[in-house]
Amino acid sequence: MLKDNFIEELGIEFLEEKKSGVILKLNASKKLMAPNGYIHGGAITSLADTACGIGAFLTLEKDQNFTTIELKTNFISAAKDGDDILCESKLIHKGRTTQVWDAEVFNSNGKKKIALTRCTQFIFSK
């Protein structure tokens, strides 16, 4: 799921599956920086969307698929070149046709929140 696609291109790594979601890691490398010298908001949002998406995928039945229908990110602080950032997703609502996920992005020592994301997934039959 993380190979030969946009996720691998960004350098997102899977760290852990938890009962309520997953934890992913991303290195804020030079190629992911915005012109201001901090990691681009799109990279952070992609990390959070991926964490929510993998979490949703892990809850699906064999005949189901999903797609993101709404995504909102609040940026709290920033990461600089070389920082490792983590993202933990948590399932907030699991309905028949929608799921709501929250994701928290923070630096690898867990002391600095970088962003909070809410993601709604549409669940449908294949």
List the chain domain ranges.
Answer: 6-125
| pLDDT at 1 (0 to 100) | 72
CATH code of the region 6-125: 3.10.129.10
Whether 109 contacts 48, CB under 8 Å: no
Residue 75, CA distances (Å) to 2, 3, 18 in order: 25, 27, 24
Strand order in the sheet with 84-94: 13-18, 21-27, 84-94, 98-107, 113-125, 64-75
Q: What is the pLDDT of residues 82-122, one digit of tens each?
A: 889 999 999 999 999 999 999 999 998 878 999 999 999 99
Paired residues of 117 in beta bridges: 73, 103
Q: How far apart are CA 115 and CA 4, in angstroms?
A: 26
